[in-house]
Structure 1
Amino acid sequence: MSLVTTTEMFKKAYEGHYAIGAFNINNMEIVQALADAASNLSSPMILQASAGARKYAKPSYLKHLVAAALEDHPELTVALHLDHGADFETCKDCIDSGFTSVMIDGSKYAFEENIALTKKVVEYAHAHGVVVEGELGQLAGIEDEVKVAAHEASYTRPEEVEEFV
């Protein structure tokens, strides 16, 4: 099988009552191990590339590692996902290079600015058959060298979710 969208993948998981693993990738050994394990278990999976992975391994290498895994294991069902895209340009680059899903993380912006950025990514992505995940709120911790201190963290406010969507 080839790359699929997470929409298709999640629909089957809901119907089949199972979970789907999502794994960050950044080198050949990780991709090989995940492909072998998923093949042995006949399990779909989401392979994710973070900003750090894209910086370390370079986008074209990551894309070709996933293509090699699918060539070696044509039975696999895989979604290729950008994890925490920081801006429109990064999301666009991933969409244009064959990712089937992107996450735009505009949580560092004001609510209205986050909505505008997410909408821009959604419009571009959907025109290319790509699924989008957005983010509200910020958890404390470090992700791709961006540190969010505990006092700066904010949980998703349920009253904002409907408007965001």
Structure 2
Amino acid sequence: MPLITLRQLLDHAAEHGYGVPAFNISNMEQGIAIMNAARACDAPVILQASLNVRNVYAGDRMIVGIVGALAEMYPDNPICLHQDHGHNEQ
């Protein structure tokens, strides 16, 4: 269940009265640090990448790969990949 939509995440948060943090990531180390904290708090997260990261540094495929790996590594913490400024839904 780790990869979920933003709608699913926000609906659950509204129903249960909590906020969900969104974190910009640009590399694996940042993702692991964020997910370690999420695991410690038993919390879902929104992961996102800036347009600059997606265009210049990592690229869409790398960000999707990092988030996919994090979803496998942390199966108990729901993750939403926020694609604002994305090039496509893939």
Both structures adopt the same fold (TM-score exceeding 0.5): yes
Identity among equivalent positions (%) equals: 36
In the alignment, the residues of structure 1 paired with residue 80 and residue 27 of structure 2 have an alpha-carbon distance, to the nearest angstrom, of: 17
Does the CA-based 8 Å contact 1:25-1:31 persist in structure 2?
A: yes
In the alignment, the residues of structure 2 paired with residue 6 and residue 42 of structure 1 have an alpha-carbon distance, to the nearest angstrom, of: 18
Secondary structure, counterpart of 1:9 in structure 2: helix
Secondary structure, counterpart of 2:9 in structure 1: helix
Does the CA-based 8 Å contact 1:50-1:82 persist in structure 2?
A: no
What does residue 13 of structure 1 align with? 13
Cα deviations by residue, 1:102-137 (Å, 9 ceiling, x for unpaired) = xxxxxxxxxxxxxxxxxxxxxxxxxxxxxxxxxxxx
In the alignment, the residues of structure 1 paired with residue 73 and residue 83 of structure 2 have an alpha-carbon distance, to the nearest angstrom, of: 22
Which amino acid in structure 2 is aligned with residue 33 of structure 1? A
Q: How far off is 1:3 after superposition? A: 1.1
- Which structure has the higher relative contact order (CA within 8 Å, separation 6+)? 2
Unaligned runs of 5+ in 2: none
In the alignment, the residues of structure 1 paired with residue 80 and residue 73 of structure 2 have an alpha-carbon distance, to the nearest angstrom, of: 16
TM-score for the superposition, normalised by structure 2:
0.90
Does the CA-based 8 Å contact 2:28-2:66 persist in structure 1?
A: yes
In the alignment, the residues of structure 2 paired with residue 60 and residue 35 of structure 1 have an alpha-carbon distance, to the nearest angstrom, of: 20
Q: What is the aligned length?
A: 89
Which amino acid in structure 2 is aligned with residue 63 of structure 1? V
2:58 matched to 1:57?
yes
Unaligned runs of 5+ in 1: 98-165
Q: How far off is 1:16 after superposition? A: 1.0
Does the CA-based 8 Å contact 2:38-2:44 persist in structure 1?
A: yes
Please state which structure has a larger fraction of its residues in strand: 1
Larger Rg: 1
Structure 1 residue runs of 4 or more that deviate by more than 3 Å after TM superposition:
none
Cα deviations by residue, 1:26-47 (Å, 9 ceiling, x for unpaired) = 1111111011111111101100
In the alignment, the residues of structure 2 paired with residue 62 and residue 40 of structure 1 have an alpha-carbon distance, to the nearest angstrom, of: 23
- Spell out the pairing of 1:104-123 with structure 2 (5 A cutoff): none
Q: CA RMSD in A?
A: 1.3
Does the CA-based 8 Å contact 2:44-2:77 persist in structure 1?
A: yes
2:70 matched to 1:69?
yes
What does residue 36 of structure 2 align with? 36
TM-score for the superposition, normalised by structure 1:
0.51
